[in-house]
Amino acid sequence: GQQLNQSPQSMFIQEGEDVSMNCTSSSIFNTWLWYKQEPGEGPVLLIALYKAGELTSNGRLTAQFGITRKDSFLNISASIPSDVGIYFCAGPYGGSQGNLIFGKGTKLSVKP
């Protein structure tokens, strides 16, 4: 079945540093979604991308829809302690329903 591969699996960074993570697939996706999950909570949608090459920002977060349509990237600038959490990429797979498939996540830890 389809899989989304996220890297890195985890990151330990200093407050103020920039962060980059990515998500790749063996199949073409028409939509890429990025979620953040804080400890003890459900995932929350951060950014949605619908067009190859699209670059979308949400505050200090910027995500890009790869030109090949098989990858997506998420960058966080000037990280702060509240950026801690697990970041998931997701995309619709199969048939007309297009249920979301999720990557296994990138766990971000920020040291003050």
Binding another protein by CB under 8 A: which of 12, 67, 97, 112? 97
Q: Which of residues 4-33 bind another protein (CB under 8 A)?
A: 30-31, 33
CA atoms within 13 A on the CB side of 19: 31
CA atoms within 13 A on the CB side of 87: 30
- Applying CB under 8 A, does 77 fall inside the site for another protein? no
- Applying CB under 8 A, does 39 fall inside the site for another protein? no
* Contact between residue 32 and residue 24 where contact means Cβ atoms under 8 Å apart: no
Q: From residue 71, how far is each of 33, 42, 60, 112 by CA, in Å?
A: 11, 24, 21, 31
Binding another protein by CB under 8 A: which of 13, 56, 75, 92? 92
* Contact between residue 92 and residue 107 where contact means Cβ atoms under 8 Å apart: no
Binding another protein by CB under 8 A: which of 14, 40, 67, 112? 40
- Applying CB under 8 A, does 85 fall inside the site for another protein? no
Residue 78 CB, shortest distance to another protein, in Å, is 26
Binding another protein by CB under 8 A: which of 12, 14, 26, 42? 42
